[in-house]
Amino acid sequence: MSLLRAENLEKAFGVAAGAAAGVQAVRGVDLEVEAGQFVAITGASGSGKSTLLHMLGGITRPTSGRVLLEGIDLAVLDDDQLALVRRRRIGFVFQRYNLLPELSLVENVGLPLVLDGVSESRSDAAAREALETVGMGHRADHRPDALSGGEQQRGAIARALVASPAVVLADEPTGALDSENSRRVVELLRRIVTDHGQTVILVTHDPGIAALAGRSIRMNDGRIISDMTQADAPGQLLASNAPRPKPGGGTGHRSQRKRGGR
């Protein structure tokens, strides 16, 4: 059984509000993710990639279709049940670090456990362990304003890991970082997958970032148009996403093997 499965996911905005023509953000997406995979979802702005990620994480409810996480159908859960699943089984990383300025880094990282009723001593120990995992143990007692952007994002990744989630969902986690820190953050996510068996799904507009994942999914107009793994083309995900010269001049994209015509 897949760790995470989406079945015929659709999301339209504006229809429920009575708009004459809603915006169809996601169209008939089927997707399976196995435990221990590092998956990148890429595409242009407006392609539906972030909306898809938010539905996979139970932040946004689909218009139709369903998401199953560890066999649990998120569509049948009420808001309180869904919040519990998000808190305990899904780790989130966003472009904004969302660290509380009045708390130290270790307090920020341990906060999800405290809110879930875990004792202060246990949450502190788990938070420090998560910070060691991301190479930030030496900065545990610093406040966010004393940290660089890259350090804050690594702290946010530690917070996503602290409850030992089934999956980490990262929505443009490098969007506010320079190229060097962006690569460090993605390399960290990849190391968490390879060294700790964590499942990570990353959304990015940058094909170079997507190429660092073991599996790269491309979206356009709300649909999955390609789904490539390193097994399909070892070491070539970066090359397949990069513009290449056409015979007659200009640039084009190397074709990719498509799955299911989605």
Residue 120 belongs to domain with CATH number: 3.40.50.300
Is residue 261 one of the residues assigned to a domain? no
Q: Examine the pLDDT at 18 and tell me if it is beyond 70.
A: no
Is residue 205 one of the residues assigned to a domain? yes
In this prediction, residues 109-136 reach a mean pLDDT of: 97
Of all residues in the chain, the percent with pLDDT exceeding 70 is 85
Is residue 44 one of the residues assigned to a domain? yes
Q: What is the pTM of this model?
A: 0.85
Is residue 123 one of the residues assigned to a domain? yes
pLDDT tens track for 183-202: 999 999 999 999 999 999 99
Task: Provide the pLDDT for residue 248.
Answer: 43
Is residue 233 one of the residues assigned to a domain? yes
The average confidence (pLDDT) of the chain is: 88
Is residue 260 one of the residues assigned to a domain? no
pLDDT tens track for 197-247: 999 999 999 988 998 999 999 999 999 999 998 776 555 544 444 443 334
Is residue 161 one of the residues assigned to a domain? yes
Query: What is the Cα–Cα distance from 40 to 208, expressed in whole angstroms?
Result: 11
51-72: b or e for each residue (b if 16 or more CB lie within 10 Å)? bbbbbbbbbbebbebebbbeeb
Is residue 259 one of the residues assigned to a domain? no
- Total structural domains within the chain: 1
Domain that holds residue 213: 4-253
String of DSSP letters for 87-121: HHHEEEE-SS----TTS-HHHHHHHHHHHTT--HH
